[in-house]
Amino acid sequence: MTLYQQQSSNIRKTWLLVTVFLIATIGLGWFLSYYFGDPSILYIAIAFALVMNMVSYWSSHKIAIAVSGAKKADEIQYRDIHTMLENLCISQGMQKPELYIIQDSAPNAFASGRNEKNAVVAVTTGLLSVLEPNEVEGVLAHELAHIKNKDILLASMVVVLVGFIAIISDILIRSMIFGRGGGDRDNRLGIILAIVGVVLAILSPIIAKLIQLAISRKREYMADASAALMTRYPEGLANALQKIENHYVTGKSPLKKGTKAMEHMYIANPFLGGKKSSLWSTHPPTEKRVKALLSGQVGL
């Protein structure tokens, strides 16, 4: 897949995600309104779906920054990183995104934003302390590649929508346990509806996970390849990926403010928990990414 095909694919996936979310939320609203005998629930679901889509589109980067606890990087204190980021942007004809710092000893980074004009790049203090300058440059190039490849909007929107799915699943379970629905309907119908509701509640987190998996793996390979072209030193990013994974695999300090909803946005999975990437990880195995970088091929 070429870069332009990848960009077009990400745009299509974004609209597909928005459409599926609208349909799923409205369907869920219909089910709850039918179960509880209250049509207003459906109208609330429609309004909420529209609002959530707008919020995730316009403010997803602000939410990601707030959730991660990132703060704007001081121009003087982090002058070297600002300069490094600016030089990479100049080489690519890109607008320099805002740089944020996360006070966390765990090495990691992510990019977020609706488009190139309002994009942000955030790195942890742990990443800056663990990596060499050429490795930090590789990480920054990787995040810029996400921006250039137009996949940060999709990734950022997923943060909001996956978080919403988690909330809805919790509400469903609680309503089925503690609520009373069905009105004067036949008890058998009420039991069937309750079972359907529990099934939906159980499947919601799985669906959220599948959405993350669907958008993450190939885009990581593409961003790695683009970063190697930017820096012309693939070894920098390859070494950075190995050091970052080693930090998590060896059980060192985890990412303190990391959330499962943002798992797919980081350059490396911050929730490995002493294990290497698996089939259910949002990121491809680091050894495959490193091999693809050093061989000059885009992994699939």
Per the annotation, the verdict on 143 as an active-site residue is: yes
Residue 116, number of CB atoms within 10 A of its CB: 16
Q: Are 18 and 60 in contact (CB under 8 A)?
A: no
Which residues have CB under 8 Å from 132's CB, separation 6+?
236, 239
List 143, 220, 245, 263, catalytic entry: 143
Count of residues in the chain: 300
**How far is Cα 54 from Cα 300, in angstroms, rounded to an integer?**
32
The string of DSSP letters for 55-109 reads: HHHHHHHHHHHHHHT-EEPPTTTTHHHHHHHHHHHHHHT-PPPEEEEE--SS--E
Residue 70, number of CB atoms within 10 A of its CB: 24
**How far is Cα 68 from Cα 123, in angstroms, rounded to an integer?**
10
**How far is Cα 7 from Cα 102, in angstroms, rounded to an integer?**
28
Place of tokens 């698996």: 278
Place of tokens 């990400």: 10
Type of residue numbered 227 = A
Which positions are catalytic?
Answer: 143
